[in-house]
Structure 1
Amino acid sequence: MLFTIFILTFITVTFSMIPWITHIQMVRDSGIDYGWANYKAFKREFAKYNWTHDGVYENSLFDYNNGCKLHASIFKFDYKGMIMYNPIEYLRSVLHIQKHFKSISSPKRKKVDWNRID
């Protein structure tokens, strides 16, 4: 019983770290200068910019005028990458991005029925 709980906990922790590890790798591999930050620093930087989205990338935000993007696990502010300290800080940041994205995104897209004959 104890072994089963240990294995389940281990699997849960391991799988919850995968998005954060991906985030670290994506920022490092993007070829920009980067540093580590916590959620408070993320919110402070996030508030400085006028975020928009282009309709192609779901849940991504950009400020092209200031070299900022929050896309594909890459957090970039003023042409510099930001890596979150731990998986919880990363998750809080992603939830903050999603909340802001919903507030500025366009109305829901309509489904198209290509099989319907007019």
Structure 2
Amino acid sequence: MVTNEDVISWYCERFNKPALFTRKSWPVTLDTSLSTGDYVWASETGADIMREYFQRFDVDPANFDFYRYWPEETFILYSLFTSGKDDDEPEPLTLRMLAESAKAGKWLYD
């Protein structure tokens, strides 16, 4: 059975490498969000993380909505010449959500 520590260890080993100049890793807990907060991943990296996560922990991705956590960005000129509406705000995608879904074997949150 997958544990919280399994998910945190995988994430730290694969994606929480020390920063180039500070040589420090980001603080990681179950409440660490990959899509909001201080340590946000770009959508391209988010896609890589989630692809590896689903495969590594054998989680059925059928109900996972990537754009809920990494909304498509609006081209700046389009935004200026239309309503000026900002891009949709991403919802938090936490390591707790990944751990709970890994335990269930399917995505639980969409």
The alignment's TM-score, normalised by the length of structure 1, stands at 0.23
Larger Rg belongs to = 1
Higher strand share: 1
Higher helix share: 1
